[in-house]
Amino acid sequence: MTYDAIVLGAGINGCGIARELAERGQRVLVLDKGAIGGGTSSKSSRLIHGGLRYLETRQFGMVREALSDRLELLGRYPELVSMRPFYLPIYRKSPRPVWRLWTGIKLYDALAGRHNIYRSRKVSRKRFAREFPALKREGIRAVLRYYDGKTNDLALTKRVAEDAQELGCVFREGIDVQHIAWDETGFAVSVGDKKYLSHILINATGPWIDEVIARYQFPSQFQIRKVSGIHIFIDELLTPHPMFLQTQGKRVFFIIPEPERGQTIIGTTEREERGRVDDVVIQEEDIDYLIRAINAYLTPNRQLQRADITDAIVGVRPLVEQKGDATALSREYELDLHTRGQTQLLNIFGGKLTTYLSLSRRVAKTLGIKEITSMALRA
């Protein structure tokens, strides 16, 4: 069977790319070793955000792009992506001063563009204490409120896959690609006794990308740093709205209530992983770390115990690194193109849930696949 493009990996990026290429008239096949959205795209903090914390490292372009994607996603999937107020209480021992956080969220508002109707503001301590009884009130210096997007990551990924299918993309799940032959005339992807042919192969396997590159002996200019993060769940609504909190060590974490499921998600952690992605497991010390971090903010009668945790999940962030240079790049994703004769291999390194739209468009541009104009349609 011959396709215009074959995508390896049905996470948010693989599904988004497939959809974008199909909209541009391409016949696309997506192959995943597991299920649609079963990788990192169902282990995230479920935020559609620019990432307030990236302002500290001055990654303004990246934040602006993500906020522009946020705006588009709000319009495209209003039933799956919505804006929520995030509360940021600043206590006396806060590792960052009030003025700095206030400047940060005002800049965040500005980067969202002039159409942004969601403006951050200060909230009175009295009102905060009334609305958030589980949180300590002693030592609060100020409370800030800003807005960001919230989604269900797995539902969003599945929805993008459905959109791609409606445009003619073919998805195959639970697939073990045994061999990929590549020469100047095409790729031949072998799955059991079937062979899929294409001129374009897109490797969108998220944190597995280095393992896939090694297995099929693909060239690459980049590699990834694997940083796992866990989320813990409790079966009650701890707070009425999401919260952005800081640890003494300057790390940030979120409390995200999900009223539709009667649960609260708390996360996340960061742990450098050296082994295979499939071998990454939840470490008890990461659960303990999150319980300690949140208990530092909860009143004595609302302290969480290990027994309150009903579930925990772990995901692996694929952070981009230039080969031979151990520092992660400030760019959030890199498109790594290799051309041989008529064929193109494109490795996708990095890429958040939020930015899959702009990433997918850049993929199409990099491959030279143009949008179908109304003139072309008439012809």
**Where do contacts with ligand FAD occur on this chain (CB under 6 A)?**
8-14, 31-34, 38-41, 43-47, 49, 177, 204-208, 212, 229, 268, 315-318, 351-354
Of 80 and 123, nearer to ligand FAD (C-beta) is: 80
The pair of three-digit structure tokens given for residue 338, joined into one six-digit string: 């290799």
The pair of three-digit structure tokens given for residue 256, joined into one six-digit string: 């995200």
Interstrand relation of 28-31 and 170-172 (parallel, antiparallel or unpaired): parallel
Q: CB of 170: closest distance to ligand FAD in angstroms?
A: 14
Q: What does each C-alpha distance from 12 to 44, 173, 206, 237, 368 come to in angstroms?
A: 11, 14, 9, 28, 22
Of 142 and 245, nearer to ligand FAD (C-beta) is: 245
Q: Name the DSSP letter for residue 332.
A: S
Q: CB of 162: closest distance to ligand FAD in angstroms?
A: 16
Give the span between the Cα atoms of 350 and 321, in whole angstroms.
9
Q: CB of 17: closest distance to ligand FAD in angstroms?
A: 9
From 334, 298, 131, 111, select the one nearest 222 (Cα to Cα).
334
- Say how many C-beta atoms besides its own lie within 10 A of residue 193's C-beta: 5
**What is the Cα 174 distance to its own chain's centre?**
22
Of 104 and 315, nearer to ligand FAD (C-beta) is: 315
The pair of three-digit structure tokens given for residue 67, joined into one six-digit string: 């906020």
Q: CB of 362: closest distance to ligand FAD in angstroms?
A: 14
Of 132 and 333, nearer to ligand FAD (C-beta) is: 333
The pair of three-digit structure tokens given for residue 6, joined into one six-digit string: 């074959």
- Residues in the chain, overall count: 379
Count the alpha carbons within 13 Å of 273 in the hemisphere toward its beta carbon: 25
Q: Name the DSSP letter for residue 132.
A: -
The pair of three-digit structure tokens given for residue 62, joined into one six-digit string: 């990246």
Peptide bond into 327 cis (omega under 30): no
Q: CB of 117: closest distance to ligand FAD in angstroms?
A: 21
Q: CB of 50: closest distance to ligand FAD in angstroms?
A: 9
Give the span between the Cα atoms of 176 and 178, in whole angstroms.
6
Of 54 and 128, nearer to ligand FAD (C-beta) is: 54
Of 28 and 212, nearer to ligand FAD (C-beta) is: 212
The pair of three-digit structure tokens given for residue 231, joined into one six-digit string: 């989320």
Q: CB of 374: closest distance to ligand FAD in angstroms?
A: 31
Q: CB of 225: closest distance to ligand FAD in angstroms?
A: 12
Residue bearing tokens 């940060």: 104
Q: CB of 9: closest distance to ligand FAD in angstroms?
A: 3
- Say how many C-beta atoms besides its own lie within 10 A of residue 155's C-beta: 15
Q: CB of 228: closest distance to ligand FAD in angstroms?
A: 7
Of 38 and 240, nearer to ligand FAD (C-beta) is: 38
Of 142 and 291, nearer to ligand FAD (C-beta) is: 291
Of 6 and 369, nearer to ligand FAD (C-beta) is: 6
Q: What does each C-alpha distance from 204 to 158, 225, 230, 244, 277 come to in angstroms?
A: 16, 16, 22, 30, 15
Of 46 and 159, nearer to ligand FAD (C-beta) is: 46
Give the span between the Cα atoms of 358 and 366, in whole angstroms.
12
